[in-house]
Structure 1
Amino acid sequence: MIIWIASYPKSGNTYIRSFLAAYYFTEKGEFDFSLIKNIRQFPNVEFFEKPYDNVEEVSKHWLDAQKIIKEKRKILFLKTHSCLGKYKGRAFTTKDFSLGGIYIVRDPRNIITSVKNHYSFDDKSALKFLTNINTGIREENSEDFRTWSLLSSWSNHYKSWIKSNNFRKLLIKYEDFETEKYSTFRDIIIFVNTLMNKTERVDKKKLEKAIETTNFKVLKEKENKEGFDEAPYSTVDKKKKVFFNLGFNNNWKNLLNEDTRKKIELEFTNEMKELGYL
Protein backbone atom coordinates (compact mmCIF):
# COMPACT_ATOMS: atom_id res chain seq x y z
CA MET A 1 0.00 0.00 0.00
CA ILE A 2 1.09 3.56 -0.69
CA ILE A 3 1.50 6.56 1.57
CA TRP A 4 1.51 9.56 -0.75
CA ILE A 5 3.65 12.66 -0.20
CA ALA A 6 1.67 14.96 -2.47
CA SER A 7 1.96 18.61 -3.41
CA TYR A 8 1.84 21.10 -6.22
CA PRO A 9 5.40 21.62 -7.52
CA LYS A 10 7.68 23.84 -5.41
CA SER A 11 5.61 23.47 -2.24
CA GLY A 12 8.04 21.65 0.06
CA ASN A 13 7.66 18.05 -1.08
CA THR A 14 11.41 17.37 -1.08
CA TYR A 15 11.68 18.97 2.36
CA ILE A 16 9.18 16.48 3.81
CA ARG A 17 10.70 13.56 1.90
CA SER A 18 14.08 14.41 3.40
CA PHE A 19 12.63 14.51 6.90
CA LEU A 20 10.69 11.26 6.51
CA ALA A 21 13.76 9.53 5.05
CA ALA A 22 15.86 10.67 8.01
CA TYR A 23 13.28 9.50 10.55
CA TYR A 24 12.15 6.20 9.03
CA PHE A 25 15.25 5.00 7.19
CA THR A 26 18.00 5.67 9.73
CA GLU A 27 18.74 4.57 13.25
CA LYS A 28 19.32 8.01 14.76
CA GLY A 29 17.65 10.46 12.37
CA GLU A 30 20.80 11.66 10.59
CA PHE A 31 19.96 12.77 7.04
CA ASP A 32 22.03 12.17 3.93
CA PHE A 33 21.02 12.85 0.31
CA SER A 34 21.31 9.15 -0.54
CA LEU A 35 18.36 8.44 1.79
CA ILE A 36 15.92 10.38 -0.35
CA LYS A 37 15.96 7.55 -2.89
CA ASN A 38 13.84 5.59 -0.41
CA ILE A 39 10.94 7.86 -1.34
CA ARG A 40 10.64 7.75 -5.10
CA GLN A 41 8.36 9.64 -7.44
CA PHE A 42 5.21 8.32 -9.06
CA PRO A 43 4.58 8.21 -11.97
CA ASN A 44 8.12 7.35 -13.02
CA VAL A 45 9.94 5.12 -15.49
CA GLU A 46 10.72 2.34 -13.01
CA PHE A 47 7.05 1.55 -12.34
CA PHE A 48 6.15 0.68 -15.94
CA GLU A 49 7.33 -2.15 -18.17
CA LYS A 50 7.85 -0.11 -21.32
CA PRO A 51 7.90 3.49 -22.60
CA TYR A 52 4.72 5.23 -23.76
CA ASP A 53 4.66 8.10 -26.22
CA ASN A 54 1.33 9.60 -25.17
CA VAL A 55 -0.72 10.30 -22.06
CA GLU A 56 -3.69 8.18 -23.13
CA GLU A 57 -1.64 4.99 -23.10
CA VAL A 58 0.31 5.49 -19.89
CA SER A 59 -2.77 6.58 -17.94
CA LYS A 60 -4.27 3.14 -18.58
CA HIS A 61 -1.47 1.64 -16.49
CA TRP A 62 -1.34 3.91 -13.42
CA LEU A 63 -3.47 1.56 -11.34
CA ASP A 64 -1.78 -1.56 -12.72
CA ALA A 65 1.55 -0.23 -11.47
CA GLN A 66 0.07 0.46 -8.04
CA LYS A 67 -1.49 -3.00 -7.93
CA ILE A 68 2.00 -4.51 -8.26
CA ILE A 69 3.16 -2.38 -5.32
CA LYS A 70 0.25 -3.62 -3.22
CA GLU A 71 0.89 -7.25 -4.13
CA LYS A 72 4.40 -6.97 -2.70
CA ARG A 73 2.69 -6.41 0.68
CA LYS A 74 4.89 -3.48 1.57
CA ILE A 75 4.05 0.01 2.70
CA LEU A 76 5.77 2.42 0.35
CA PHE A 77 6.21 6.18 0.60
CA LEU A 78 5.81 7.78 -2.83
CA LYS A 79 6.19 11.39 -3.86
CA THR A 80 3.73 12.76 -6.39
CA HIS A 81 2.81 16.05 -8.01
CA SER A 82 -0.26 14.55 -9.68
CA CYS A 83 -3.65 15.91 -8.80
CA LEU A 84 -5.98 13.37 -7.21
CA GLY A 85 -8.35 13.09 -10.12
CA LYS A 86 -8.96 11.32 -13.38
CA TYR A 87 -7.55 11.68 -16.85
CA LYS A 88 -10.28 10.90 -19.39
CA GLY A 89 -12.00 8.71 -16.83
CA ARG A 90 -8.85 6.94 -15.64
CA ALA A 91 -8.13 7.47 -11.94
CA PHE A 92 -4.67 8.42 -10.74
CA THR A 93 -5.13 6.23 -7.66
CA THR A 94 -7.88 4.69 -5.51
CA LYS A 95 -8.38 3.64 -1.90
CA ASP A 96 -7.56 0.07 -2.97
CA PHE A 97 -3.90 1.04 -3.31
CA SER A 98 -3.59 4.11 -1.08
CA LEU A 99 -3.17 3.87 2.67
CA GLY A 100 -3.16 7.63 3.10
CA GLY A 101 -1.63 10.88 1.98
CA ILE A 102 0.29 13.86 3.33
CA TYR A 103 -0.64 16.94 1.32
CA ILE A 104 1.60 20.02 1.47
CA VAL A 105 0.08 23.33 0.44
CA ARG A 106 1.92 26.63 -0.02
CA ASP A 107 0.88 30.21 -0.69
CA PRO A 108 0.62 30.43 -4.51
CA ARG A 109 2.17 33.90 -4.42
CA ASN A 110 5.36 32.24 -3.20
CA ILE A 111 5.02 29.18 -5.42
CA ILE A 112 5.06 31.32 -8.56
CA THR A 113 8.49 32.78 -7.80
CA SER A 114 9.88 29.28 -7.17
CA VAL A 115 8.27 28.02 -10.38
CA LYS A 116 9.89 30.88 -12.30
CA ASN A 117 13.32 29.87 -11.02
CA HIS A 118 12.85 26.12 -11.44
CA TYR A 119 11.44 26.17 -14.97
CA SER A 120 13.10 29.39 -16.20
CA PHE A 121 9.67 30.99 -16.74
CA ASP A 122 8.78 34.66 -17.04
CA ASP A 123 5.81 36.04 -15.07
CA LYS A 124 3.28 35.35 -17.81
CA SER A 125 4.34 31.72 -18.34
CA ALA A 126 4.49 31.02 -14.60
CA LEU A 127 1.02 32.47 -14.07
CA LYS A 128 -0.36 30.33 -16.89
CA PHE A 129 1.32 27.29 -15.31
CA LEU A 130 -0.52 27.87 -12.02
CA THR A 131 -3.92 28.75 -13.48
CA ASN A 132 -4.30 26.39 -16.46
CA ILE A 133 -6.57 23.43 -15.62
CA ASN A 134 -4.71 21.33 -18.20
CA THR A 135 -1.19 21.89 -16.86
CA GLY A 136 0.92 18.75 -16.88
CA ILE A 137 4.62 18.05 -16.37
CA ARG A 138 7.09 15.32 -17.31
CA GLU A 139 10.81 14.80 -17.33
CA GLU A 140 12.53 17.46 -19.41
CA ASN A 141 13.81 16.61 -22.88
CA SER A 142 12.08 13.23 -22.90
CA GLU A 143 9.52 11.74 -25.25
CA ASP A 144 8.62 9.13 -22.64
CA PHE A 145 5.30 9.80 -20.92
CA ARG A 146 5.91 7.43 -18.00
CA THR A 147 6.95 10.48 -15.97
CA TRP A 148 3.93 12.60 -16.94
CA SER A 149 1.74 14.04 -14.17
CA LEU A 150 -1.53 15.94 -14.50
CA LEU A 151 -1.31 18.97 -12.21
CA SER A 152 -4.29 21.06 -13.32
CA SER A 153 -4.42 24.50 -11.68
CA TRP A 154 -3.13 25.22 -8.17
CA SER A 155 -6.69 25.46 -6.82
CA ASN A 156 -7.90 22.29 -8.55
CA HIS A 157 -4.85 20.43 -7.28
CA TYR A 158 -5.50 21.49 -3.68
CA LYS A 159 -9.22 20.66 -3.85
CA SER A 160 -8.64 17.30 -5.54
CA TRP A 161 -6.56 16.08 -2.61
CA ILE A 162 -8.25 17.77 0.33
CA LYS A 163 -11.93 17.75 -0.63
CA SER A 164 -12.05 14.04 -1.49
CA ASN A 165 -12.63 11.49 1.27
CA ASN A 166 -11.50 8.28 -0.42
CA PHE A 167 -8.61 7.73 2.04
CA ARG A 168 -7.07 9.47 5.04
CA LYS A 169 -5.06 12.64 4.50
CA LEU A 170 -3.07 15.11 6.54
CA LEU A 171 -2.95 18.73 5.36
CA ILE A 172 0.33 20.51 6.06
CA LYS A 173 0.97 24.18 5.31
CA TYR A 174 4.49 24.88 4.10
CA GLU A 175 4.57 28.03 6.19
CA ASP A 176 4.19 25.99 9.40
CA PHE A 177 7.64 24.48 8.83
CA GLU A 178 8.99 27.90 9.74
CA THR A 179 6.60 28.98 12.51
CA GLU A 180 5.67 25.65 14.14
CA LYS A 181 8.42 23.32 12.99
CA TYR A 182 8.56 20.79 15.84
CA SER A 183 4.80 20.30 16.24
CA THR A 184 4.30 20.10 12.46
CA PHE A 185 6.90 17.38 11.99
CA ARG A 186 5.65 15.56 15.10
CA ASP A 187 2.12 15.56 13.67
CA ILE A 188 3.45 14.03 10.45
CA ILE A 189 5.11 11.18 12.37
CA ILE A 190 1.98 10.55 14.45
CA PHE A 191 -0.13 10.45 11.27
CA VAL A 192 2.22 8.04 9.49
CA ASN A 193 2.56 5.78 12.53
CA THR A 194 -1.23 5.63 12.81
CA LEU A 195 -1.56 4.68 9.14
CA MET A 196 1.00 1.91 9.62
CA ASN A 197 -0.57 0.71 12.90
CA LYS A 198 2.64 1.44 14.77
CA THR A 199 2.04 1.63 18.51
CA GLU A 200 5.35 3.09 19.65
CA ARG A 201 5.60 6.71 20.73
CA VAL A 202 7.38 9.33 18.68
CA ASP A 203 11.13 9.07 19.26
CA LYS A 204 11.82 12.64 20.39
CA LYS A 205 15.60 12.47 20.03
CA LYS A 206 15.33 10.99 16.56
CA LEU A 207 12.67 13.55 15.63
CA GLU A 208 14.88 16.42 16.77
CA LYS A 209 17.89 15.04 14.88
CA ALA A 210 15.83 14.57 11.70
CA ILE A 211 14.58 18.16 11.98
CA GLU A 212 18.09 19.45 12.63
CA THR A 213 19.74 17.61 9.73
CA THR A 214 17.00 18.53 7.22
CA ASN A 215 16.93 22.21 8.13
CA PHE A 216 16.70 24.21 4.89
CA LYS A 217 20.02 25.93 5.54
CA VAL A 218 21.68 22.55 6.07
CA LEU A 219 20.16 21.14 2.87
CA LYS A 220 21.30 24.19 0.92
CA GLU A 221 24.85 23.84 2.25
CA LYS A 222 24.87 20.12 1.41
CA GLU A 223 23.75 20.90 -2.14
CA ASN A 224 26.52 23.49 -2.52
CA LYS A 225 29.12 20.95 -1.39
CA GLU A 226 27.79 17.69 -2.85
CA GLY A 227 25.35 18.69 -5.58
CA PHE A 228 21.79 17.38 -5.76
CA ASP A 229 20.58 14.89 -8.38
CA GLU A 230 17.10 16.42 -8.62
CA ALA A 231 18.30 19.95 -9.36
CA PRO A 232 16.97 21.17 -12.75
CA TYR A 233 19.07 22.25 -15.70
CA SER A 234 18.82 25.81 -16.95
CA THR A 235 17.18 26.17 -20.36
CA VAL A 236 19.51 29.10 -21.01
CA ASP A 237 23.03 27.79 -20.34
CA LYS A 238 22.19 24.06 -19.74
CA LYS A 239 23.94 24.16 -16.37
CA LYS A 240 22.40 22.78 -13.19
CA LYS A 241 20.42 25.33 -11.22
CA VAL A 242 20.20 25.54 -7.45
CA PHE A 243 17.37 23.35 -6.12
CA PHE A 244 17.32 24.59 -2.53
CA ASN A 245 17.10 28.20 -3.59
CA LEU A 246 15.38 30.71 -1.28
CA GLY A 247 13.31 28.57 1.05
CA PHE A 248 11.60 30.73 3.67
CA ASN A 249 13.34 33.80 2.26
CA ASN A 250 11.05 33.48 -0.75
CA ASN A 251 8.62 36.22 0.25
CA TRP A 252 6.16 37.38 -2.39
CA LYS A 253 5.99 40.81 -0.73
CA ASN A 254 9.55 41.43 -1.85
CA LEU A 255 9.62 39.46 -5.11
CA LEU A 256 6.22 39.58 -6.82
CA ASN A 257 5.04 42.45 -8.99
CA GLU A 258 1.68 44.03 -8.17
CA ASP A 259 -0.09 42.94 -11.36
CA THR A 260 0.80 39.26 -10.94
CA ARG A 261 -0.13 39.35 -7.25
CA LYS A 262 -3.59 40.73 -8.02
CA LYS A 263 -4.19 38.12 -10.72
CA ILE A 264 -3.24 35.26 -8.38
CA GLU A 265 -5.42 36.58 -5.56
CA LEU A 266 -8.37 37.04 -7.91
CA GLU A 267 -7.98 33.59 -9.46
CA PHE A 268 -7.59 31.74 -6.15
CA THR A 269 -9.59 33.95 -3.76
CA ASN A 270 -11.74 31.23 -2.20
CA GLU A 271 -8.94 28.74 -1.57
CA MET A 272 -6.54 31.39 -0.28
CA LYS A 273 -9.14 32.67 2.18
CA GLU A 274 -9.89 29.12 3.29
CA LEU A 275 -6.20 28.55 4.00
CA GLY A 276 -5.66 31.89 5.71
CA TYR A 277 -3.50 33.36 2.96
CA LEU A 278 -5.96 36.23 2.45
Structure 2
Amino acid sequence: MIIWLASYPKSGNTWVRSIIAALMHTNDGVFKFELLNQIKQFPSKKYFKDFTNDFENIHEIKKYWESAQDFINLDNKVKFFKTHHINCKIGQYSFTSKKNTLATIYITRDPRNLVNSISNHFSKSVEDSKNFLFAPKIITKFEKEDDLDNGSLITLLGTWNEHYNFWKNNNENFLLIKYEDLINNTNSELDKIIAFIKRFTPIQTDEIKNKNIIKTTSFNYLQNLEEKGGFDENAYDTNDTKKKFFNLGPKNNWENNLNKKIKDEIELKFYVEMKELGYL
Protein backbone atom coordinates (compact mmCIF):
# COMPACT_ATOMS: atom_id res chain seq x y z
CA MET A 1 0.00 0.00 0.00
CA ILE A 2 1.19 3.47 -0.87
CA ILE A 3 1.78 6.41 1.42
CA TRP A 4 1.86 9.43 -0.86
CA LEU A 5 4.16 12.40 -0.38
CA ALA A 6 2.02 14.77 -2.40
CA SER A 7 2.49 18.44 -3.15
CA TYR A 8 2.24 21.16 -5.72
CA PRO A 9 5.71 21.68 -7.29
CA LYS A 10 8.28 23.66 -5.29
CA SER A 11 6.41 23.25 -2.00
CA GLY A 12 9.01 21.25 -0.07
CA ASN A 13 8.34 17.72 -1.28
CA THR A 14 12.03 16.93 -1.72
CA TRP A 15 12.74 18.18 1.80
CA VAL A 16 10.08 15.92 3.34
CA ARG A 17 11.17 13.07 1.09
CA SER A 18 14.72 13.50 2.40
CA ILE A 19 13.52 13.45 6.00
CA ILE A 20 11.49 10.28 5.47
CA ALA A 21 14.25 8.57 3.49
CA ALA A 22 16.70 9.20 6.35
CA LEU A 23 14.09 8.06 8.87
CA MET A 24 13.09 4.85 7.11
CA HIS A 25 16.30 3.80 5.35
CA THR A 26 19.17 4.56 7.74
CA ASN A 27 20.14 3.44 11.21
CA ASP A 28 21.80 6.70 12.18
CA GLY A 29 19.59 9.28 10.44
CA VAL A 30 22.41 10.71 8.32
CA PHE A 31 21.00 11.71 4.94
CA LYS A 32 22.71 11.20 1.58
CA PHE A 33 21.23 11.98 -1.83
CA GLU A 34 21.28 8.33 -2.91
CA LEU A 35 18.63 7.66 -0.27
CA LEU A 36 16.14 9.56 -2.44
CA ASN A 37 16.16 6.53 -4.74
CA GLN A 38 14.25 4.69 -2.02
CA ILE A 39 11.23 6.96 -2.61
CA LYS A 40 10.35 7.00 -6.29
CA GLN A 41 8.17 9.43 -8.19
CA PHE A 42 4.76 8.47 -9.50
CA PRO A 43 3.75 8.59 -12.24
CA SER A 44 6.96 7.69 -14.04
CA LYS A 45 7.61 5.68 -17.16
CA LYS A 46 8.99 2.58 -15.43
CA TYR A 47 5.55 1.86 -13.93
CA PHE A 48 3.66 2.32 -17.20
CA LYS A 49 5.97 0.82 -19.81
CA ASP A 50 4.17 -2.55 -19.68
CA PHE A 51 0.82 -0.85 -20.36
CA THR A 52 1.55 1.82 -22.99
CA ASN A 53 4.28 3.80 -24.74
CA ASP A 54 2.10 6.86 -25.34
CA PHE A 55 3.69 8.65 -22.41
CA GLU A 56 2.56 12.21 -23.16
CA ASN A 57 -1.14 11.50 -23.74
CA ILE A 58 -3.04 12.06 -20.50
CA HIS A 59 -6.10 10.26 -21.88
CA GLU A 60 -3.99 7.17 -22.50
CA ILE A 61 -2.06 7.34 -19.24
CA LYS A 62 -5.21 7.82 -17.11
CA LYS A 63 -6.40 4.33 -18.07
CA TYR A 64 -3.44 2.80 -16.23
CA TRP A 65 -3.05 4.93 -13.08
CA GLU A 66 -4.67 2.26 -10.93
CA SER A 67 -3.28 -0.71 -12.86
CA ALA A 68 0.25 0.57 -12.31
CA GLN A 69 -0.46 0.96 -8.59
CA ASP A 70 -2.02 -2.52 -8.44
CA PHE A 71 1.25 -3.88 -9.76
CA ILE A 72 3.33 -1.80 -7.31
CA ASN A 73 1.23 -3.12 -4.41
CA LEU A 74 1.45 -6.81 -5.30
CA ASP A 75 3.95 -7.37 -2.48
CA ASN A 76 1.50 -5.95 0.11
CA LYS A 77 4.26 -3.84 1.65
CA VAL A 78 4.03 -0.24 2.81
CA LYS A 79 5.92 2.05 0.45
CA PHE A 80 6.32 5.78 -0.08
CA PHE A 81 5.90 7.59 -3.39
CA LYS A 82 6.46 11.22 -4.23
CA THR A 83 3.88 12.80 -6.51
CA HIS A 84 2.94 16.20 -7.87
CA HIS A 85 -0.14 14.79 -9.58
CA ILE A 86 -3.56 16.05 -8.56
CA ASN A 87 -5.75 13.40 -6.91
CA CYS A 88 -8.40 13.69 -9.59
CA LYS A 89 -10.84 11.58 -11.56
CA ILE A 90 -11.17 11.85 -15.33
CA GLY A 91 -14.29 10.12 -16.52
CA GLN A 92 -14.25 6.66 -14.94
CA TYR A 93 -10.52 6.76 -14.17
CA SER A 94 -9.28 7.80 -10.72
CA PHE A 95 -5.68 8.72 -10.02
CA THR A 96 -5.76 6.46 -6.97
CA SER A 97 -8.21 4.80 -4.58
CA LYS A 98 -8.55 3.33 -1.09
CA LYS A 99 -7.48 0.01 -2.55
CA ASN A 100 -4.02 1.36 -3.36
CA THR A 101 -3.63 4.32 -1.00
CA LEU A 102 -2.83 3.79 2.66
CA ALA A 103 -2.29 7.45 3.58
CA THR A 104 -1.14 10.83 2.32
CA ILE A 105 1.39 13.31 3.66
CA TYR A 106 0.56 16.54 1.88
CA ILE A 107 3.11 19.36 1.82
CA THR A 108 1.84 22.87 1.19
CA ARG A 109 3.51 26.25 0.87
CA ASP A 110 2.28 29.84 0.78
CA PRO A 111 1.48 30.43 -2.92
CA ARG A 112 2.96 33.92 -2.70
CA ASN A 113 6.33 32.28 -2.07
CA LEU A 114 5.79 29.71 -4.81
CA VAL A 115 5.89 32.40 -7.48
CA ASN A 116 9.62 33.06 -7.16
CA SER A 117 10.47 29.36 -6.81
CA ILE A 118 8.46 28.43 -9.91
CA SER A 119 10.04 31.32 -11.78
CA ASN A 120 13.50 29.99 -10.99
CA HIS A 121 12.77 26.31 -11.52
CA PHE A 122 10.80 26.55 -14.75
CA SER A 123 12.57 29.63 -16.18
CA LYS A 124 9.39 31.69 -16.23
CA SER A 125 8.70 35.37 -15.62
CA VAL A 126 7.04 36.33 -12.34
CA GLU A 127 3.80 37.05 -14.20
CA ASP A 128 3.90 33.68 -15.97
CA SER A 129 4.68 31.97 -12.67
CA LYS A 130 1.61 33.52 -11.10
CA ASN A 131 -0.45 32.32 -14.07
CA PHE A 132 1.10 28.87 -13.61
CA LEU A 133 -0.66 28.71 -10.22
CA PHE A 134 -3.93 30.04 -11.61
CA ALA A 135 -4.48 27.79 -14.63
CA PRO A 136 -4.93 23.99 -14.78
CA LYS A 137 -1.58 22.68 -15.85
CA ILE A 138 -0.11 19.56 -17.42
CA ILE A 139 3.61 18.97 -17.00
CA THR A 140 5.22 16.56 -19.42
CA LYS A 141 8.74 16.50 -17.98
CA PHE A 142 10.33 17.48 -14.68
CA GLU A 143 13.91 16.40 -15.12
CA LYS A 144 16.46 16.30 -17.90
CA GLU A 145 16.61 12.51 -17.60
CA ASP A 146 14.24 10.90 -20.08
CA ASP A 147 15.14 7.22 -20.20
CA LEU A 148 12.48 4.52 -19.96
CA ASP A 149 13.28 3.51 -16.39
CA ASN A 150 13.66 6.93 -14.77
CA GLY A 151 11.85 9.42 -16.99
CA SER A 152 8.99 11.25 -15.34
CA LEU A 153 5.57 10.99 -16.91
CA ILE A 154 2.90 13.44 -17.93
CA THR A 155 1.52 14.96 -14.73
CA LEU A 156 -1.75 16.82 -14.22
CA LEU A 157 -1.50 19.59 -11.62
CA GLY A 158 -4.68 21.62 -11.73
CA THR A 159 -4.59 25.05 -10.09
CA TRP A 160 -2.84 25.51 -6.73
CA ASN A 161 -6.08 25.42 -4.74
CA GLU A 162 -7.57 22.55 -6.76
CA HIS A 163 -4.46 20.52 -6.04
CA TYR A 164 -4.75 21.10 -2.28
CA ASN A 165 -8.50 20.49 -2.15
CA PHE A 166 -8.49 17.32 -4.23
CA TRP A 167 -5.85 15.69 -2.03
CA LYS A 168 -7.40 16.90 1.22
CA ASN A 169 -10.94 15.82 0.35
CA ASN A 170 -10.15 12.43 -1.20
CA ASN A 171 -8.14 10.87 1.59
CA GLU A 172 -9.11 9.50 5.01
CA ASN A 173 -5.58 9.19 6.43
CA PHE A 174 -4.21 12.66 5.77
CA LEU A 175 -1.34 14.58 7.34
CA LEU A 176 -0.80 18.21 6.38
CA ILE A 177 2.75 19.56 6.57
CA LYS A 178 3.29 23.26 5.96
CA TYR A 179 6.64 24.30 4.53
CA GLU A 180 6.66 27.27 6.87
CA ASP A 181 6.24 25.02 9.93
CA LEU A 182 9.15 22.87 8.75
CA ILE A 183 11.30 25.99 8.72
CA ASN A 184 10.12 27.36 12.05
CA ASN A 185 9.89 24.16 14.10
CA THR A 186 11.51 21.22 12.34
CA ASN A 187 11.60 19.12 15.53
CA SER A 188 7.86 19.34 16.02
CA GLU A 189 7.13 18.54 12.38
CA LEU A 190 9.43 15.54 12.47
CA ASP A 191 7.59 14.28 15.57
CA LYS A 192 4.29 14.68 13.69
CA ILE A 193 5.62 12.75 10.71
CA ILE A 194 6.95 9.94 12.91
CA ALA A 195 3.69 9.63 14.86
CA PHE A 196 1.69 9.54 11.62
CA ILE A 197 3.84 6.92 9.91
CA LYS A 198 3.85 4.72 13.02
CA ARG A 199 0.12 4.26 12.51
CA PHE A 200 0.90 2.23 9.40
CA THR A 201 4.37 0.71 9.74
CA PRO A 202 7.05 0.25 12.43
CA ILE A 203 9.82 2.85 12.77
CA GLN A 204 13.14 2.49 14.56
CA THR A 205 14.32 5.85 15.81
CA ASP A 206 15.72 7.62 18.86
CA GLU A 207 16.82 11.09 19.93
CA ILE A 208 20.27 10.84 18.32
CA LYS A 209 18.88 9.59 15.03
CA ASN A 210 16.27 12.35 14.99
CA LYS A 211 18.91 15.00 15.62
CA ASN A 212 20.96 13.63 12.71
CA ILE A 213 17.90 13.70 10.45
CA ILE A 214 17.22 17.34 11.28
CA LYS A 215 20.87 18.34 10.86
CA THR A 216 21.51 16.52 7.57
CA THR A 217 18.22 17.49 5.91
CA SER A 218 18.38 21.18 6.80
CA PHE A 219 18.21 23.50 3.80
CA ASN A 220 21.80 24.69 4.21
CA TYR A 221 23.07 21.12 4.52
CA LEU A 222 21.17 20.02 1.40
CA GLN A 223 22.37 23.09 -0.47
CA ASN A 224 25.99 22.23 0.40
CA LEU A 225 25.45 18.61 -0.63
CA GLU A 226 24.09 19.77 -3.99
CA GLU A 227 27.16 21.93 -4.57
CA LYS A 228 29.36 18.87 -3.97
CA GLY A 229 27.42 16.90 -6.60
CA GLY A 230 25.25 13.81 -6.51
CA PHE A 231 21.84 15.47 -6.91
CA ASP A 232 20.22 14.57 -10.23
CA GLU A 233 16.74 16.13 -10.09
CA ASN A 234 17.68 19.61 -11.23
CA ALA A 235 15.83 21.55 -13.89
CA TYR A 236 17.71 22.98 -16.88
CA ASP A 237 17.48 26.44 -18.39
CA THR A 238 16.99 27.29 -22.06
CA ASN A 239 20.74 26.87 -22.63
CA ASP A 240 20.60 23.35 -21.22
CA THR A 241 22.53 24.48 -18.14
CA LYS A 242 21.74 22.79 -14.84
CA LYS A 243 19.90 25.11 -12.45
CA LYS A 244 20.37 25.15 -8.70
CA PHE A 245 17.57 23.14 -7.06
CA PHE A 246 18.12 24.25 -3.47
CA ASN A 247 18.08 27.91 -4.38
CA LEU A 248 16.72 30.30 -1.72
CA GLY A 249 14.62 28.11 0.58
CA PRO A 250 13.82 30.00 3.81
CA LYS A 251 15.29 33.20 2.30
CA ASN A 252 12.56 33.24 -0.32
CA ASN A 253 10.19 35.78 1.26
CA TRP A 254 7.36 37.11 -0.87
CA GLU A 255 7.30 40.31 1.17
CA ASN A 256 10.70 41.20 -0.30
CA ASN A 257 10.27 40.13 -3.92
CA LEU A 258 6.59 40.13 -4.92
CA ASN A 259 4.90 43.24 -6.27
CA LYS A 260 1.59 44.33 -4.75
CA LYS A 261 -0.48 43.67 -7.88
CA ILE A 262 0.53 40.00 -8.06
CA LYS A 263 0.26 39.59 -4.28
CA ASP A 264 -3.29 40.95 -4.33
CA GLU A 265 -4.28 38.73 -7.26
CA ILE A 266 -3.02 35.61 -5.48
CA GLU A 267 -4.75 36.51 -2.23
CA LEU A 268 -8.04 37.13 -4.04
CA LYS A 269 -7.84 33.97 -6.15
CA PHE A 270 -6.92 31.67 -3.27
CA TYR A 271 -8.53 33.52 -0.38
CA VAL A 272 -10.53 30.56 1.00
CA GLU A 273 -7.63 28.11 1.04
CA MET A 274 -5.05 30.65 2.24
CA LYS A 275 -7.35 31.63 5.09
CA GLU A 276 -7.90 27.98 5.98
CA LEU A 277 -4.17 27.32 5.99
CA GLY A 278 -3.35 30.38 8.07
CA TYR A 279 -1.58 32.29 5.31
CA LEU A 280 -4.08 35.15 5.64
**Under TM normalisation by the shorter chain, which class is it?**
over 0.9
Structure 1 28/227 Cα, relative in aligned 2: closer, same or farther at 3 Å? closer
Distance in 2, matches of 1:43 and 1:154, equals 19
Q: Which residue of 2 aligns with 1:244?
A: 246
- Give how far 1:161 is off: 1.1
- Post-superposition CA distance 1:39-72 (Å, at most 9, x none): 0100001111242141111110010000011112
Q: CA RMSD in A?
A: 1.8
- Choose which of 206, 215, 222 in structure 2 pairs with 1:203: 206
Distance in 1, matches of 2:230 and 2:161, equals 33
**Percent identity of the aligned residues?**
43
Distance in 2, matches of 1:91 and 1:244, equals 33
Matches within 5 A, 1:97-136: 97-132=100-135, 134-136=136-138
Q: Which residue of 2 aligns with 1:163?
A: 169
Gaps of 5+ in 1: none
- Post-superposition CA distance 1:62-102 (Å, at most 9, x none): 10000011112221100000111112331100010011010
Distance in 1, matches of 2:155 and 2:85, equals 5
Partner secondary structure for residue 218 of structure 1: helix
Moved over 4 A (4+): 140-146
Matched, 1:230 2:233: yes
- Give how far 1:258 is off: 1.3
Are 1:51 and 1:146, in contact at CA under 8 Å, matched by a contact in 2?
no
- Choose which of 164, 178, 182 in structure 1 pairs with 2:183: 178
What TM-score do you get using the length of structure 2 for normalisation?
A: 0.93
- Give how far 1:202 is off: 4.7
- Give how far 1:148 is off: 1.2
- Post-superposition CA distance 1:157-214 (Å, at most 9, x none): 11111123x4301011110011111010111011011122x3x675222111111111
Are 1:41 and 1:78, in contact at CA under 8 Å, matched by a contact in 2?
yes
- Post-superposition CA distance 1:231-263 (Å, at most 9, x none): 10112x210000000000000001111111111
Q: Which residue of 1 aligns with 2:157?
A: 151
2:222 is matched by which residue type in structure 1? L
Distance in 2, matches of 1:227 and 1:20, equals 19
Matches within 5 A, 1:42-57: 42-48=42-48, 49=50, 50-52=52-54, 53-57=56-60
Matched, 1:28 2:28: yes
Structure 1 275/79 Cα, relative in aligned 2: closer, same or farther at 3 Å? same
Q: Which residue of 1 aligns with 2:85?
A: 82
- Give how far 1:138 is off: 2.1
2:244 is matched by which residue type in structure 1? V
Matched, 1:189 2:191: no
- Give how far 1:221 is off: 0.5
Distance in 1, matches of 2:9 and 2:90, equals 19
1:154 is matched by which residue type in structure 2? W
Gaps of 5+ in 2: none
- Give how far 1:146 is off: 6.5
Partner secondary structure for residue 231 of structure 1: coil
Are 2:138 and 2:154, in contact at CA under 8 Å, matched by a contact in 1?
yes
1:5 is matched by which residue type in structure 2? L
